[in-house]
Each structure stands twice: as C-alpha cells, then as structure tokens.
Structure 1
C-alpha cells in the first residue's frame, strides 16, 4: 500500500510539473524563416491573418487553411479576410475535410504531398501549437522542415487544462499506435 501511495504521489507530481511547464512556457511566434508553404489550422482568432501575413511577407508561396467549415465558400473567405481573387487563385487553398486537430494534420499532409511541398510553417494559437505540431509531424515525412509559428493569446486556465490533457492523450495515442 505504501508503494502505491509513493507511485501515485510521483505520478501526480510529474503531472503537475508538466502542467506548469505547459502553461508557463507557451510556444512563441516564429522568426522570418522562409518555407514553401504555410498551413493554418482554423479555430482561433488571429490564425488566418497571421498566415496571410506570412504570404504577404514572402515567407511562403502557398497557404492551406485546414478545417474550414463546409458552408464557407471561397468567395466568402476572400471577402472576410480581404484576399484578392488573384491571391486566392495562385496561393490560397481551403481544406474542408478536417473537423479536429488530427484531421487537420491528415488534411495538411495530403495537401503537402499533392503540392510537392518541401517545408511548411504551421500557424495556430500558442496553447494549441504543441499538439497541432505533434499531430502534423506524425503525418509528414521525417525529413520535412516544420516551422512552428504560434499566435499569442491569453487562454483561460480551463482552456490550458483541457489542452494539456488532449496533448497527453495525443502522445499516448502516438505511443500506442492509434
């Protein structure tokens, strides 16, 4: 019984320290590293504008927005984010298949292969970056360059708590091959 208490205390300590690290050291925006493409996971404020800023700065040539609601038309997207028709034609792809982070990774990896992309910049919110980056890295070839470009936010403690547990679950699923 004493061994069980020590083990439970150790697990609780590791969990708590992990959460503190997760919450206190959120990923940061990337620098000016150039990639072939930028992938934006929908779902949080500032993500799409950051992806478009990457395109505008010439840090990527193409952009995939993954997880777009199926009811959104390319015209509506272009109007909402003030993207020209020419920019939409040449450079912006909308992905409608994904409904969650794992789906974003699968959709993005498929798009990367179809477009023969050699390096990508992932744009998502800071609290979401670790899990989204992990899921995407699992789907991309091992030699693919993946730049993580976090959009700063002020997440609630509840959001951080939930995302931390989703990250643990993702790592566990990857460890056990799910």
Structure 2
C-alpha cells in the first residue's frame, strides 16, 4: 500500500491544506478584532457618561445657596418666576446694590413684569435693570458681563434653577473671569428636587438632568478650548 499522507496533506495545487486552513481561520478572526475594540471603547464611554451623569445629579442635589450672600450685584436668568422672586428677595435684604434680570422678552414691558412678580415699585424702579438681548445661557453670560463691567462691579450673585447652575457657572466664568461669581441655586419651581437617586428614577427629572448634563459637557468643552488660548485675567479683588 502506498503512503497517503502526502496526498491528504496538500491540495491539487500542491499547497499545504493545514496552512490554507490556518490562513482562513486567521482571516476570519482578523476583522473581528477592530469590532471588539470598538465595542469595548463604546462600553467604556457609556460607563463614563453614566458615571458622570450620576455625579452631576449628586452635585445638583447637594448644592445649597448661602444663607446671606454679599456682592456688588445680582444677576438672575429668566426661565421661572421663582428665580426672579428669589433674586428680588436678595436685593430687598441688602445682599447687593443692583439686580440685572437677563433674557427678558422684548415684548414684556417693565411695568408688566413688575406687576407679574408683585415686586415693590420703589425697589424695582431704583435698583432693577432689564436685559433683553440674551436668548440662551451663553447670551445671558455675555449680557451680564457687559452689565457688570459697566457698573464697575467686582462680584455678583448668580441666581438660577439648581439644575441650571453648573452650566451657568461655566458660561459666567468664561465671559467674566475677572469677577467673583457666587452661586445661588434655586430649588423652588424646579422639576429637579430631592436626592440624586430620586432624580435619576423619576422620568421627568431624569429627562431634565440628562438634557442639562449634555449641555453642560458642551459648555465645558467650549470653556476648555477657550482657556487653552485666551490670555489669563487675574480675578478682581473685592
């Protein structure tokens, strides 16, 4: 009987069948490696975003306003009557000299706004300024920065809703790096209240927090890019 090993070990072209099978196996495994790497990176990114969202919710839940803040001016961002009411209380209590309400609708008259807020006419007429140019948070910061510099202020109390404060602070730090900005987060009227767990398990609150977190990341990236090339400005001494 003849030896069949040589016949079975090679194909009709004389190539080793074992080598051919190994090449096929390697070629089938090869394209999978980039896909596995991509999936792993995507999972890492998702975990990082989820962790960041949780930390963001914790920060919102734990942030509390100072009991009696003091500054040259107060800036409140429109978006809820409770925000403006809190800012007016601060002004009335002597926390600052003047108040800017930024982002007021151009169709809203000064008197109509005062009446809606049930604010003191004397206080409103003497010490409240209205900004009508801003249409978003970045615009609020730009409008407030111009007002602060025009008033020669070196410190301001920033009033807005609790979930909106982290992003607002970033924009104000970018447009007003020379001034001291004191955060005054408002929970009244906010759809985001309670603990971080309560925020993340309530569908309405989760949607608000997740949307705001995404906007916060964009604002943070923009600030990092801005800080990388702008000339540093020393904070003003108050």
Distance in 2 of aligned mates of 1:167 and 1:133: 10
Shift of 1:174: 2.2
User: Under a length normalisation based on structure 1, what TM-score does the superposition of the two structures give?
Assistant: 0.92
- 2:55 — aligned with what? 21
Q: For this pair of structures, how many residues does the alignment match?
A: 177
RMSD: 1.6
Kindly indicate whether the alpha-carbon contact (under 8 Å) linking 1:30 and 1:150 is maintained by their aligned counterparts in 2: no
Aligned equivalent of 2:183, options 148, 151, 159: 148
User: Under a length normalisation based on structure 2, what TM-score does the superposition of the two structures give?
Assistant: 0.70
Distance in 2 of aligned mates of 1:162 and 1:93: 30
Shift of 1:21: 1.2
Distance in 2 of aligned mates of 1:124 and 1:46: 9
Shift of 1:53: 0.7
Kindly indicate whether the alpha-carbon contact (under 8 Å) linking 1:67 and 1:98 is maintained by their aligned counterparts in 2: yes
Kindly indicate whether the alpha-carbon contact (under 8 Å) linking 1:28 and 1:149 is maintained by their aligned counterparts in 2: yes
Residue 123 of structure 2 is aligned to residue 112 of structure 1: no
Kindly indicate whether the alpha-carbon contact (under 8 Å) linking 2:141 and 2:175 is maintained by their aligned counterparts in 1: yes
Shift of 1:18: 0.5
Distance in 2 of aligned mates of 1:171 and 1:98: 20
Kindly indicate whether the alpha-carbon contact (under 8 Å) linking 2:92 and 2:123 is maintained by their aligned counterparts in 1: no
3-state DSSP of counterpart to 1:63? strand
Distance in 1 of aligned mates of 2:111 and 2:191: 31
- 1:100 — aligned with what? 136
Q: Which structure: larger Rg?
A: 2
Shift of 1:134: 0.8
Shift of 1:11: 1.4
Kindly indicate whether the alpha-carbon contact (under 8 Å) linking 2:165 and 2:185 is maintained by their aligned counterparts in 1: yes
- 1:4 — aligned with what? 38
3-state DSSP of counterpart to 2:87? helix
Point out where structure 2 has 5 or more consecutive residues left out of the alignment. Answer: 1-33, 193-204, 228-238
Using CA pairs under 8 Å that are at least 6 residues apart, name the structure with larger relative contact order, 1 or 2.
Answer: 1
Write out per-residue CA displacement over residues 11-51 of structure 1, whole angstroms, 9 at most, x where no aligned residue.
Answer: 11111011011123203222312111110000024100000
Distance in 1 of aligned mates of 2:168 and 2:68: 21
Point out where structure 1 has 5 or more consecutive residues left out of the alignment. Answer: none
Shift of 1:157: 1.3
Q: Larger % of helix: which? A: 2
Distance in 2 of aligned mates of 1:154 and 1:75: 28
- 2:98 — aligned with what? 62
Distance in 2 of aligned mates of 1:89 and 1:117: 20
